[in-house]
Amino acid sequence: MEIIKLRDEYIKLGQALKASGLVGSGVDAKNVIADGLVLVNGQIEYQRGKKLRDGDTVTFEGNTIKIQA
Domains and CATH numbers, the chain: 2-68 (3.10.290.10)
pLDDT at residue number 41: 98
pLDDT at residue number 18: 96
Look up the pTM and report it. 0.93
pLDDT at residue number 61: 96
pLDDT at residue number 38: 98
Distance linking the first and last C-alpha atoms of the chain: 16
- Alpha helices, DSSP H, located in the chain: 13-20, 26-34
Reported for 28-31, long-range contacts at CB under 8 A and 24+ positions apart, including other chains, are none
Question: What are the mean pLDDT values of the chain's consecutive 10-residue runs (69 residues total)?
Answer: 94 96 96 98 97 98 96
**Contact (Cβ atoms closer than 8 angstroms) between residue 66 and residue 3:** yes
